[in-house]
Amino acid sequence: MYKQMIIIRRMEMAADALYKAKKIRGFCHLSVGQEAIAVGIENAISKEDDVITSYRCHGFTYMRGSSVKEVLGELMGRRIGVSNGKGGSMHMYADGFYGGNGIVGAQVPLGAGLAFAHQYRGKKNCTFTLYGDGAANQGQVFEAFNMAKLWNLPCVFACENNKYGMGTSASRSSAMTEYYKRGQYFPGLKVNGMDILAVYQASKFAKDWAISGNGPLLLEYETYRYGGHSMSDPGTTYRTREEVQNMRSRNDPIAGLKGHLLDFEIATEEEIKSFDKAARKYVDEQVKLAEAAPEPEKKMDILFEDVYVPGSEIPILRGRIRDDSWDFAKKGFAYR
């Protein structure tokens, strides 16, 4: 878990540098400070379980099986990216990972649906449905809660409370900031999201609860992002530098786990330095591969890939070109 967290942090720092070098454009939401959540959850579940989250998703994409090269390639719009360079920061996918969703809170009912699929198929698996404190007040979140409890779905609703939604503190946007109590008719737990051992144990408990027929559970991972909401947000106008520095120096999840490794003599200082060096080397190599990867071919066909399952395409894709004709009968085309 230590190795995984330092790779994710290195990857996010690389994304930060690539964005500032204008090699990444558009939206880019980094999770520096929040690494313990993606890593803790993944180590507590299996690949047969599902994960769906919001747009701060790079770490989850890596933990679900994508390489750093594929994540950074996606950010740079390269064909090597996890979504062939079409999705960018907010739309990344992997086996058992359903995004990376850009619409605030919209992934929560989708997560309930993924949990329903496990129940319908009789599988002893669950879905971790993550959202932020900024999404916690969205209507569809509560609708998903209601359906999940009515059907006792194996769904773990997990609020990543990093204290700020965009530029607004949780206390200014939420009448009640105890997000773990929002389930009302199903139980919730508050977890220290800066302590990976706490995240791991709580996530393991939550999965066991969900697959045992108890229905949904709500976890609130209390965490913190060191950077701004996105790369376009300096993150300093609505909080003090002292606050950020205090979290970095006293609550960092990587430093915390390093302390445990040393205190319990699981690893030596030299071994940990070798882990850090190996992570730096790996990420640096992956950055070079991502940068060297080709950009999408400048062909119109690329725009219309992945709309239909290969082999089931219709002859004319509506709205594709200005001179499209909708007179299917005259052209001898039939609807499918």
Residue 55 vs residues 92, 101, 131, 167: alpha-carbon distances, Å: 9, 5, 9, 16
Instruction: Encode pLDDT of 37-56 as tens digits.
Output: 999 999 999 999 999 999 99
The average pLDDT across 66-77 equals 97
The average pLDDT across 258-275 equals 97
Identify the CATH homologous superfamily for domain 2-292: Thiamin diphosphate (ThDP)-binding fold, Pyr/PP domains (3.40.50.970)
Structure confidence at residue 60 (pLDDT): 98
- Angle, helix 2-20 to helix 68-75, in steps of 10 degrees: 20
Structure confidence at residue 321 (pLDDT): 58
Q: pLDDT band at residue 1, thresholds of 50, 70 and 90?
A: very high
C-alpha to C-alpha distance for 219 and 225, rounded to whole angstroms: 18
Cβ pair 135, 179 in contact under 8 A: no
Residue 74 vs residues 55, 77, 87, 232, 316: alpha-carbon distances, Å: 13, 5, 7, 19, 29
Sorted by where each begins, the domain ranges of the chain are 2-292, 301-336
Residue 335 has pLDDT above 50, yes or no: no
> What 3-state class would DSSP assign to 149?
helix
Q: pLDDT band at residue 68, thresholds of 50, 70 and 90?
A: very high
Instruction: Encode pLDDT of 80-99 as tens digits.
Output: 999 999 999 999 999 999 99
Residues 6+ apart with CB under 8 A from 100: 53, 54, 55, 57, 60, 61, 87, 89, 90, 91, 92, 93
Residue 299 has pLDDT above 50, yes or no: yes
pTM of the model: 0.91
C-alpha to C-alpha distance for 126 and 147, rounded to whole angstroms: 15
Cβ pair 131, 107 in contact under 8 A: yes
Q: For the range 207-211, what are the long-range contacts, defined as Cβ-Cβ under 8 Å and sequence gap of 24 or more?
A: 207/44, 207/45, 207/49, 207/126, 207/156, 209/156, 210/115, 210/126, 210/154, 210/155, 210/156, 211/124, 211/125, 211/126, 211/154
Q: pLDDT band at residue 14, thresholds of 50, 70 and 90?
A: very high
C-alpha to C-alpha distance for 42 and 60, rounded to whole angstroms: 8
Residue 257 has pLDDT above 70, yes or no: yes
**Could you say which DSSP state residue 214 is in?**
I
Cβ pair 294, 78 in contact under 8 A: yes
Averaged pLDDT of the chain = 93
